[in-house]
Amino acid sequence: MDLEKALAELTLDEKAHLTAGADMWSTHAIARLDLPSIRVTDGPNGARGSSLLGVGDATAVCVPCGSALGATWNPSLIERIGVMLGQEARTKACRVLLAPTINLHRSPLGGRNFECYSEDPLLSGKIAAGFVRGVQSEGVATTAKHFVANDAEHERNTIDSVVDARTLREIYLVPFELAVKEGGTLGIMTAYNRLNGTFCSEDAWLLTRVLRDEWGFEGFVLTDWFSVGSTLDSARAGLDLQMPGPGRFFGAALAEAVRAGELDESIVTDQVARMLGVWKRLGALDDAIDSVRGSRQEQAERSIDLPTHRELAREVATDSMVLLKNEELLPLATAGLRRIALIGPNADRCHIMGGGSATLRAHYEVTPLEALRKRLGETVEITHERGCWTEKSVPPLHADSLMKPDASTGLEIAFFGNVDWQGEPVHLGSNRNGQILFFGPPGEGVPQDFSFRAVGTFTPTESGVHTFTLIQAGLARVQIDGDIVLDGIESPPGPGSAFFGMGSREIEAAVELLAGRPVELSIDFTCGSARLLRGVVVGHRPPLPEDMMQRAVAAAAAADVAVLVVGTNGDWETEGRDRESMQLPGEQDELIRRVCAANPRSVVCVNTGSPVAMDWCDQAAAILQIWFGGQEMADALVDVLLGSAEPGGRLPTTLPLREEHNPAFGNFAGENSELRYGEGLLVGYRWYSTRELPVRFPFGHGLSYSTFEIGIPRLSADAYCGDPISVAVPVTNTGLRRGCEVVQCYVAPKHPSLFRPSFELRAFAKLWLDPGETSDATFELGPRAFAHWDPADPGYELVRARLFAMAAMGPGAGSARRPEQGWYIDAGSYELRVGRSSADISHICVVSVPEEIGPIGA
């Protein structure tokens, strides 16, 4: 397809048409010119296709969450993950993957921290660049998101992130800069929030000056979903595509603005040229015929569960697990092992991803309990106790307890073409569990306004008082054996925080049931005023034994080893809501303390996306951070526990001793519509180290099952004069097993002209070595390893004139001010601190900079 020709032939209305989505997940086609509709998919831990929140039939590979990928410190592995996700996106007929999420872990409480890689911009950016290269090698564009300073969820659609210029340049913009310059991302998604008073989707400084003029970005910029709120400002700022459709501010509105003489047509032409340019680079214009007129088959979403994808998901899960502490307990010696107590609320659950738009239906799910039993069940007795209840909202009725009238698992659903269950159903369907949600019409022939009745039996496994709950998007009631137990039609609950605020508050009812005796369950739903998302979550909590904790403690005491799997889930860590505390939910802290006291051979596996308080740290013999580890998490956990895999991860984010110590404390999660980045440059370890605050586990920390010696670094030069310095660090595996070491290089300026963090990560390399093997970790230190951004003070000369006017006061104290902003390298000496974590430095070398260098452009 000839792009120039197509652009010249497009009418103004057609061009404007292309600037807004056609529906939730695709752009418009222009059939007249064979221009295809392009489909997009979230992102970032899989390519889920057009379903949302785990709804729908299509399944997808689920890789570990962002913080886990960050913990690999392994951009080349993440590039392979990118290739896999690019392939997955194609199976969903998509040419754009809405990923990676590269905001930073500014506060440990950020609701979407699990999606983001790290607190450090370099680590985030290098991982992002690998991810982007991989995905895009499969003809799928990435949209690095959310540009920028979207590091919290509180009032996310309107909050104003107030960030100083230097902090933006040195910290928050860096991952995006690397995604553009080193990854070559073809897309950027703007953030919902404002940045210093201007909405990111209409910030010309951000989208044009920095992104395009300075970084040379040639791709397209799209909004986050529903976020754009202006036509002229956004178009002039450099935004190209409003998603989802139908367009309100873009689309026809742009053509009207051109006709009204408010906007130059060249702006619309540029928007379209940028998008078509990307589709062309992807090869997507060549499948125009398929996409515009293609058969249903070619457009259908496919779920392809490949063994090679399973293996890669497993490899990355083990490579992300961080062994925080190990008092000679791991790997578990299986010889003589008779009984393992597997304890904790997450041990028999699959908490493998965080909540929100990242949620998908994984190809399969395995619980830690199932994985351990499969591996050791024949030789070792595995007892299991949950110990306590931790769910934030009650989980949906489980498939195993539901039976349809035809005796298969789940619920049978009859859909009516009216809002009050009248007449014959217009469509029949089914659902596997108590979460029955629809984006758009639920089936063929079902109109926009519909009602449904879902029926089946529910068979409890315990006798006693069961709790049933209801969250509705629309209006619903639940009947058990003909009695209305939950009535959201007569007394609708107010709005809640579920489903990005589209769901109601959760209501609950207690019902006495007998174990093994089935009851008839019926759920009536009608749309009411709900539009985008419609349906219900009917939850169930069995009677909870009062002695849950005692049973867990007794099981631990009677076992050779206790394995605790504790943590949060996608309800506690989710898009749309920040966490309220670093504390593990429920009584898990108490459970861990008591289990560790009952059995000194206890390992605590922490199944979360972000840091949690570990006040019990001293009591546990071993601690393993396993994150939300994707579809292979449980088997990868067993690999690591038993030593068939190395725990390859290192902390991508500091685990603070106390929540109150964290850098954002006091400036999180914002007040009066403003989120002040008051800690400035001192994000993460920059804060703890510069302020000399103790931490629970430092940034970069993680133990191996082997031991390593980091030798003396060899530098290609001991002065930096503009050419990169090459560094080679010999590393020897001094242990008895193959394992990995991550060599980290932090740079500490000794004579900074402006305030600087005490040291910053400037390079890293991960090595896998056999016992006795030595190899070099190598990296280069270029200008940015030494530079800082100086916002300068171009107006100072005017101010200075006043000082001279006040003769008695002299020229005033103070240092030289640079008249021009940019990256500068101060003259003086710099320490290269080379080690295995930010707090474990093996060698310090000194590099000098004889003369100031700068400004070095952007």
- Minimum distance from residue 357 beta carbon to ligand BGC (Å): 3
- Minimum distance from residue 115 beta carbon to ligand BGC (Å): 8
- Minimum distance from residue 854 beta carbon to ligand BGC (Å): 36
Q: How far apart are CA 524 and CA 185, in angstroms?
A: 46
- Minimum distance from residue 187 beta carbon to ligand BGC (Å): 11
Asked if 98 touches ligand BGC (CB under 6 A), the answer is yes
- Minimum distance from residue 225 beta carbon to ligand BGC (Å): 4
Residue ranges in 10-74 assigned as alpha helix (H) = 12-18, 66-71
- Minimum distance from residue 20 beta carbon to ligand BGC (Å): 15
DSSP 8-state class, residue 485:
E
Tokens of 470: 């209801």
487 vs 575, which CB is nearer to ligand BGC?
575
Burial 642-668 (b: 16+ CB within 10 A, else e): beebbbbbbbbbbbbbebebbbbbebb
Asked if 573 touches ligand BGC (CB under 6 A), the answer is no
102 vs 834, which CB is nearer to ligand BGC?
102
- Minimum distance from residue 121 beta carbon to ligand BGC (Å): 19
Q: How far apart are CA 173 and CA 159, in angstroms?
A: 18
Query: φ, ψ for residue 606 (rounded to 5)?
Result: -100, 110
Catalytic residue among 120, 224, 319, 487: 224
21 vs 460, which CB is nearer to ligand BGC?
21
Q: How far apart are CA 512 and CA 543, in angstroms?
A: 9
Q: How many CA atoms does the CB half-sphere of 101 hold within 13 Å?
A: 31
DSSP E strands: which ranges in 687-782?
A: 695-697, 708-710, 714-715, 725-733, 739-749, 760-769, 774-781
Q: How many other C-beta atoms can be found within 10 angstroms of the C-beta atom of residue 326?
A: 18
Measured in whole angstroms, the distance separating CA 711 from the mean position of its chain's CA atoms is 36
- Minimum distance from residue 143 beta carbon to ligand BGC (Å): 8
Query: φ, ψ for residue 688 (rounded to 5)?
Result: -60, -40
Clarify whether 224 is annotated catalytic: yes
| 543 contacts 465 by C-beta, under 8 angstroms | yes
Which positions from 175 to 214 touch ligand BGC by CB under 6 A, shown as an x/- string?
----------------------------------------
| 683 contacts 689 by C-beta, under 8 angstroms | no
55 vs 682, which CB is nearer to ligand BGC?
55
Which is nearest to 60 in space by CA: 24, 94, 85, 97?
Answer: 85
- Minimum distance from residue 224 beta carbon to ligand BGC (Å): 5
229 vs 711, which CB is nearer to ligand BGC?
229
355 vs 647, which CB is nearer to ligand BGC?
355
Q: How far apart are CA 658 and CA 662, in angstroms?
A: 7
- Region at 261 (left for phi over 0; alpha for psi -120 to 50; beta for the rest): left
Q: How many other C-beta atoms can be found within 10 angstroms of the C-beta atom of residue 813?
A: 6
| 267 contacts 46 by C-beta, under 8 angstroms | no
Residue nearest ligand BGC, CB atom distance: 357
- Minimum distance from residue 81 beta carbon to ligand BGC (Å): 18
43 vs 609, which CB is nearer to ligand BGC?
43
145 vs 818, which CB is nearer to ligand BGC?
145
Which is nearest to 159 in space by CA: 168, 167, 150?
Answer: 150
Q: How far apart are CA 696 and CA 713, in angstroms?
A: 29
Which is nearest to 470 in space by CA: 436, 421, 512, 519?
Answer: 436
65 vs 614, which CB is nearer to ligand BGC?
65
Q: Among residue numbers 455 through 474, which ones bind ligand BGC (CB under 6 A)?
A: none
Considering CB under 6 A, how many residues would be counted as binding ligand BGC?
7
Task: Find the binder of ligand BGC among 147, 176, 225, 668 (CB under 6 A).
Answer: 225
In Å, what is the CA distance from 835 to each residue of 106, 161, 509, 733, 845?
A: 24, 34, 56, 15, 11
Q: How many other C-beta atoms can be found within 10 angstroms of the C-beta atom of residue 696?
A: 21
Q: How far apart are CA 563 and CA 665, in angstroms?
A: 33
Asked if 224 touches ligand BGC (CB under 6 A), the answer is yes
- Minimum distance from residue 98 beta carbon to ligand BGC (Å): 4
Question: E strand or H helix at 610, and its extent?
Answer: none
In Å, what is the CA distance from 510 to each residue of 457, 485, 489, 513, 784?
A: 17, 8, 18, 10, 61
Which positions from 29 to 48 touch ligand BGC by CB under 6 A, shown as an x/- string?
-------------xx-----
Q: Among residue numbers 136 through 175, which ones bind ligand BGC (CB under 6 A)?
A: 145
Q: Among residue numbers 318 through 377, which ones bind ligand BGC (CB under 6 A)?
A: 357
In Å, what is the CA distance from 44 to each residue of 109, 133, 635?
A: 20, 14, 22
101 vs 326, which CB is nearer to ligand BGC?
101
Which positions from 734 to 773 touch ligand BGC by CB under 6 A, shown as an x/- string?
----------------------------------------
109 vs 763, which CB is nearer to ligand BGC?
109
Asked if 64 touches ligand BGC (CB under 6 A), the answer is no
| 62 contacts 353 by C-beta, under 8 angstroms | yes
Tokens of 621: 């013999």
50 vs 526, which CB is nearer to ligand BGC?
50
Asked if 385 touches ligand BGC (CB under 6 A), the answer is no
Question: E strand or H helix at 279, and its extent?
Answer: helix 265-282
- Region at 21 (left for phi over 0; alpha for psi -120 to 50; beta for the rest): beta
Q: Are β-strands 411-416 and 507-513 bridged in parallel, bridged antiparallel, or unpaired?
A: unpaired
157 vs 196, which CB is nearer to ligand BGC?
157
Q: How far apart are CA 434 and CA 324, in angstroms?
A: 38
3-state secondary structure of 316: helix
* Angle at 241 (CA atoms; ends 240, 244), nearest 5 degrees: 165
Residue whose tokens read 């006017």:
805
Q: ω into residue 246 within 30 of 0, thus cis?
A: yes
- Minimum distance from residue 124 beta carbon to ligand BGC (Å): 16
- Minimum distance from residue 42 beta carbon to ligand BGC (Å): 5
Which residues are designated catalytic? 224
Residues making contact with ligand BGC (CB under 6 A) = 42-43, 98, 145, 224-225, 357
